[in-house]
Structure 1
Amino acid sequence: MSPPGFALAMALARVLLGSAAVWLVVRLLRRRLLRLERPPEGAAGPGADGAITPLLLHSLASLGYLAMVVWGWRSLVRDWALLRFDPGPDRLVEGAALLVATVLVVRLLNRSLLLLLERSLQRLGREEQTSTLRALAPMIRALFWGLGTLVFLQQQGVPLGAVYASLAGAGIGVGLALRGPLSHFINYLTIVIDKPFQIGDLIGFSDVLGPVERVGIRSSSIRSLSGERIVIGNEELLQKTIRNFGDLPRRRVAQTLRLSDRMAAEKAASIAGLVEEVIRAHPPAAFDRCHFLRFADGALEFQYVFFVPDSSVVVYLDLQQAINLGILQAFQSQGIEFAAAAPEPAAARISPAPG
């Protein structure tokens, strides 16, 4: 058994020497990791790993210093008889050390996880979703702090059966109370993550057609082409078949021409060439084909197809108008006439019943 003064000196020596060893190891790790993560010439700089490494090393150093303090305290308890007879101080120090370690680990998990998720979204080009992640950050932190608190209490021998039962009951009650808001939030996440459309896209569903102005947690706003603002719940919107014209890398346009059936065969054979010449004169429209489809009632029907490499409706309409005018001028110069409108089928007459 050592004298109290000698035991205290040995405990302090262990703490100081151990802390010096931790400092040296962390310093060597920092140099090694920073050398490995040094970006090549011309690179923009360190990414998420370069930001997480100092955080990880700082937490590792803090846990190492804390472990050295616990090691010195245990050596003091072992060498000092008074502390062995009274377990109160030992329990207090052990509990405080566990509390500090829990706080350090939870802080490391919170910061590193959120940083990794944010940098991952940035690398994937989903900058608009980082605002959603920042909005969810308090909930994520609260979840980790709650788990850390339960782990600490369990390690301290606190009976948690009643706590778990209370949490289960509270969870059921909160779930029932938040069923509607939770459903709205899940639908919002579906739109944000799955991205069936984005703000500015021209979409169509049912009899609505217009650009998306806002995507909220509960509803979305669409500005119809006639000018009115249409607000629809996200749940109802996701249940519909949505036509997204904004996500249209190339628009296919197919049109039918009804020409006079009194036209000579030589002129009918020249229609495809005339239409192709007009379409190729209006870039960026890309000609695909033009064919004589069929003999209709009082008309010869031709179909032509071209592509517009742009999702803008205005660009498409401008090209369609220019092509229509060009075809009209070409046909007038060649003396090609359009057929009259197709007659509407007459309504069937029902004769009165005899008698």
Structure 2
Amino acid sequence: MNWEAMLDQALWINIAIVLGTTFVSYVVLQTVLKVVTYRLRKLGKGSTSGFAGMIAEMLSRTSQLLLIAMSLLIGLKFAELPLRWESAMSHTWFIALAVQMALWLDTAVHLWMDSLTRDGKARNPVTTTIIGIMLRIVVWTMMLLSILANLGVDITAMVASLGVGGIAIALAVQTLLSDVFASLSIGIDKPFEIGDFVVFGDIAGNIEHIGLKTTRIRSLSGEQVVCANADLLSQTIHNYKRMDTRRIVFKFGISYKTPASKLREVSQLVRRIIDDIEMAKFDRAHFFAFDNSQLTYEVVYIMQTADYNAYMDVQEEINLRLLEGVHELEVDFAFPIRQVEFIGGNLPEMLVSQVQQELPTTPQPSPAS
């Protein structure tokens, strides 16, 4: 052991300066971090949903080990070091800062994923998880590549090999990836969510689960329908859960024997009936067409709710009141009539056979009487 070097006064002075500066730097950084975090939380009113609250939560998760390392690097700046040590310190500075930035961004991704379910709405958990994993992979991959580049490693070949490998994997699992990206599209674009009632093709039912590859639908008849995400998005989907109102069109027929004055009263009757129902908004009622066996009326009204059962209740009430009102007007509903007209020639004779009934015989008096 080189005792002369150990007894060098300049060495111990430098060590004391490094330790003192490291301690002061750590206290200052910790104090500044706490003050800034407190101010941001107060500005964000204790919530992490806003920008200020998210930044405060990120700063609160600063690694203490990295904070000590950065304080030590600050302290080493005040000591006289060889050039070799200066170069190593510069790389260490960058590594510490890159790791801390990656930790902050990872925390931001985690907070963003939590905020998606904080409002209580039904989300696609698979899509949220996939997006979170992809963002974290990007953050830590960029951190690793930036550190390697700072250390002088040529990352061009590494990036090229990753690209070629990614293309090969994508070609091998092309069908699976198409469904995965369809799941991401469903989660981002949100054409439907869990609990929505959808109709596509000959399938109608409620969305039960949106998975990585398939979507599961509970049909009206009770069975579960499993459909690939890519196939599902390639079809036209009717989402009835997002209806605000329903436009209802129905028709009924009146007898041809009805006079024109009564026909006008029928239209007014329909309007009064619909206006009297709270959940229905009258649009129009017209004598629509001369059809076979009937004078056809077409009625349009708007249901102020998308509930199908409520619509059926209102339609039943309209039908009952319409039946009563038409009878009060002494108007008849139409029913199918078929007439046959015989032109030219003579009708054939038609014989009607009669069955002769036997009259009861009168009893003859006996000779004795």
After TM superposition, the score normalised by the length of structure 1 is 0.79
Whether 2:167 is the aligned partner of 1:172: answer yes
Q: Which residue of 2 aligns with 1:108?
A: 104
* Pairs within 5 Å for 1:189-204: 189-204=184-199
Judge which range, 318-327 or 216-225, deviates more.
Answer: 216-225
Secondary structure of the corresponding residue to residue 152 of structure 2:
coil
* Pairs within 5 Å for 1:254-333: 254-333=249-328
The answer to whether the Cα contact below 8 Å between 1:22 and 1:61 also exists between their aligned partners in 2 is: no
TM-aligned CA distance change 1:161 to 1:46, over 3 Å: closer
Cα distance between partner residues in 1 of 2:335 and 2:122: 55
- 1:314-355 CA deviation, whole Å, 9 max, x = no partner? 222232223223222322343322223488xxxxxxxxxxxx
Cα distance between partner residues in 2 of 1:342 and 1:294: 17
Secondary structure of the corresponding residue to residue 194 of structure 2:
coil
The answer to whether the Cα contact below 8 Å between 1:106 and 1:145 also exists between their aligned partners in 2 is: yes
- 1:160-186 CA deviation, whole Å, 9 max, x = no partner? 243223212211212212322221111
Q: Which residue of 2 aligns with 1:21?
A: 28
Cα distance between partner residues in 2 of 1:203 and 1:299: 37
TM-aligned CA distance change 1:242 to 1:108, over 3 Å: same
Judge which range, 51-60 or 279-288, deviates more.
Answer: 51-60
* Pairs within 5 Å for 1:1-355: 3-38=10-45, 45=47, 47-48=49-50, 49-56=52-59, 59=62, 65-78=68-81, 84=82, 87=84, 96-116=92-112, 118-119=114-115, 121=116, 126=121, 128-129=123-124, 132-341=127-336
The answer to whether the Cα contact below 8 Å between 2:63 and 2:100 also exists between their aligned partners in 1 is: no
- 1:219-278 CA deviation, whole Å, 9 max, x = no partner? 333344344443332222222222222221111111122211111222212101222233
Cα distance between partner residues in 1 of 2:206 and 2:184: 20
The answer to whether the Cα contact below 8 Å between 1:260 and 1:298 also exists between their aligned partners in 2 is: yes
Cα distance between partner residues in 1 of 2:40 and 2:209: 44
Secondary structure of the corresponding residue to residue 241 of structure 1:
coil
Judge which range, 129-138 or 156-165, deviates more.
Answer: 129-138
TM-aligned CA distance change 1:111 to 1:13, over 3 Å: same
TM-aligned CA distance change 1:132 to 1:6, over 3 Å: same
The answer to whether the Cα contact below 8 Å between 2:282 and 2:301 also exists between their aligned partners in 1 is: yes
TM-aligned CA distance change 1:322 to 1:225, over 3 Å: farther
Q: Which has the higher helix share?
A: 1
Report how far residue 105 of structure 1 moved: 1.8
The answer to whether the Cα contact below 8 Å between 2:209 and 2:215 also exists between their aligned partners in 1 is: yes
Alignment size in residue pairs: 330
TM-aligned CA distance change 1:217 to 1:317, over 3 Å: farther
Percent identity between the aligned chains? 27
Cα distance between partner residues in 2 of 1:192 and 1:3: 64
Report how far residue 21 of structure 1 moved: 3.2
The answer to whether the Cα contact below 8 Å between 1:59 and 1:105 also exists between their aligned partners in 2 is: no
TM-aligned CA distance change 1:46 to 1:303, over 3 Å: same
- 1:33-86 CA deviation, whole Å, 9 max, x = no partner? 3443447xxxxx5644325314325539876643331233244343xxxxx38x
Judge which range, 123-132 or 168-177, deviates more.
Answer: 123-132
TM-aligned CA distance change 1:134 to 1:189, over 3 Å: closer
Report how far residue 147 of structure 1 moved: 1.7
Secondary structure of the corresponding residue to residue 3 of structure 1:
helix
- 1:1-26 CA deviation, whole Å, 9 max, x = no partner? 97222222222232233333333433
The answer to whether the Cα contact below 8 Å between 1:246 and 1:312 also exists between their aligned partners in 2 is: no
The answer to whether the Cα contact below 8 Å between 1:204 and 1:242 also exists between their aligned partners in 2 is: yes
Q: Which runs of 5+ in 2 are unaligned?
A: 1-7, 339-369
Q: Which runs of 5+ in 1 are unaligned?
A: 40-44, 79-83, 344-355
Cα distance between partner residues in 1 of 2:337 and 2:231: 40
Secondary structure of the corresponding residue to residue 300 of structure 2:
strand
Cα distance between partner residues in 1 of 2:285 and 2:176: 54
Secondary structure of the corresponding residue to residue 62 of structure 2:
helix
Cα distance between partner residues in 1 of 2:195 and 2:296: 38
Secondary structure of the corresponding residue to residue 304 of structure 1:
strand
Q: Which residue of 2 aligns with 1:81?
A: none
